[in-house]
Amino acid sequence: MKIILATGNKGKIDEFKKLLPNEEVFTFKEIIGDYEVEEDKDSFKGNAVKKAQEIYEKIGSKDAIVISDDSGITVPALNNEPGIYSARYAGTNATDKENNSKLISKLKEKNLKETEAYYTACIAIVYKGYTYTVHGWMYGKVIDKEIGENGFGYDPMFIPNGFDKTLGNLPYEVKKEFSHRSKALKLAKKVLDIIL
Ligand SMILES: O=c1nc[nH]c2c1ncn2[C@H]1C[C@H](O)[C@@H](COP(=O)(O)OP(=O)(O)OP(=O)(O)O)O1
Ligand SMILES: [Mg+2]
């Protein structure tokens, strides 16, 4: 099956390719080149739907299977920041490093060495003009420093429940078992089984 990912995030693309080893996975950039979808909705679902629908329209083939992912990390002790603003926490086009530094300063302001946090992923599928959405979550805590180089984004600051290391220091096999993205994609595969 040919699947087109409506994402420009390299970390997500690597994970989707590992999670879909038996499918032909393309990124939208390989098909239509550079394109930016404005993420102006107020939920992961709103932005995931917008990204998948806009890329599906741009590609212009009814039979294309387009999959988007809108995701982020929520820290209840910081009034649920950064949430849907995770990618632009430190400003438009902020790097992962800059976003992590901002989260670290926010935690330090509140003297929080560690606190509960969770990742959310909403995956939207668009096929034959119809849109389907599924969600997945991963629970754990964030710490006020970055440890390890594995993963991407906030992973060096995130310790999943049941572990004592950050995702920066855990192999991808662990993240693959429990991640918000893996869980959402399991549901997305069930949707594809039904609609294709
Ligand atoms: O597994 C994850 N491990 C670490 N960090 C993560 C993860 N999942 C999402 N995140 C963070 C990265 C980014 O700061 C934000 C996603 O923002 P989000 O708009 O969905 O993605 P993006 O702008 O990087 O790429 P795109 O919109 O093209 O899919 O949450
Ligand atoms: Mg984005």
pLDDT of residue 69: 99
* % of the chain residues with pLDDT over 90: 100
Nearest CA to ligand 1 atom 24: 9
**Ligand 2 centroid from CA 70, angstroms:** 7
Pocket of ligand 1 (CB under 6 A): 7-9, 12, 39, 69-72, 86-87, 99, 119, 151-155, 179, 181
How confident is the model over 60-104, as pLDDT tens digits? 999 999 999 999 999 999 999 999 999 999 999 999 999 999 999
Ordered domains of the chain (ranges, CATH): 2-195 (3.90.950.10)
pLDDT of residue 149: 97
Dihedral, 139, 145, 151, 154 alpha carbons, nearest 10 = 60
Pocket test for ligand 1, best of 29, 35, 73, 100 (most atoms within 8 A of CB): 73
Complex ipTM tops 0.95: yes
| Atom of ligand 1 minimally distant from the CA of 88 | 14
Q: Is 174 left (phi over 0), alpha (psi -120 to 50) or beta?
A: alpha
How confident is the model over 9-22, as pLDDT tens digits? 999 999 999 999 99
pLDDT of residue 100: 98
Cα 115 → chain centroid: 21
Residues marked active site are found at 70
**Ligand 1 centroid from CA 70, angstroms:** 7
pLDDT of residue 54: 98
How confident is the model over 105-133, as pLDDT tens digits? 999 999 999 999 999 999 999 999 999 99
pLDDT of residue 93: 95
Question: Across the chain, what does the average pLDDT equal?
Answer: 98
**Which pLDDT band, with edges at 50, 70 and 90, does 47 fall under?**
very high
